[in-house]
Amino acid sequence: MNTRILIGVRGMTKEAGEKISRLLLDVDGVAKATPDDGQIEVHYDPSRLTVMDLLRVVRGQGYLAGML
C-alpha cells in the first residue's frame, strides 16, 4: 500500500520540479511523483522507503526541502 506525502521545495522552478520528479521515480519504491509550484506530491511504499530517503533525493539537487 502506497503512502502520499507533499514535499515542499524552496525555490524550485517548473523545470527543476520535473527533473526532481524523474529522479524520485527512479528510486525503487516510488510509484508517482508530481511536481507543482514549490512542492512535489509523492506516492511511495513506506515498507521500502522513509520520508528522509525521499528528502535526500531532493536535497541532493541543492534544494531546501521538507514535508508539508
Chunked in runs of 10, what are the mean pLDDT values of the chain (68 residues)?
96 94 98 96 98 97 95
pLDDT for res 35: 97
pLDDT for res 1: 86
Instruction: Please state which CATH class domain 3-67 belongs to.
Output: alpha beta
| Residue 41 CA: distances (Å) to CA of 54, 56 | 11, 15
Residue type, 35: P
pLDDT for res 44: 98
> Under a CB-based contact definition with an 8 Å cutoff, are residues 29 and 55 in contact?
no
pLDDT for res 51: 97
Residue carrying C-alpha cell 514549490: 38
Beta bridge mates, 43: 4, 32
pLDDT for res 53: 98
pLDDT for res 38: 94
* Cα–Cα dist 3/47, whole Å: 10
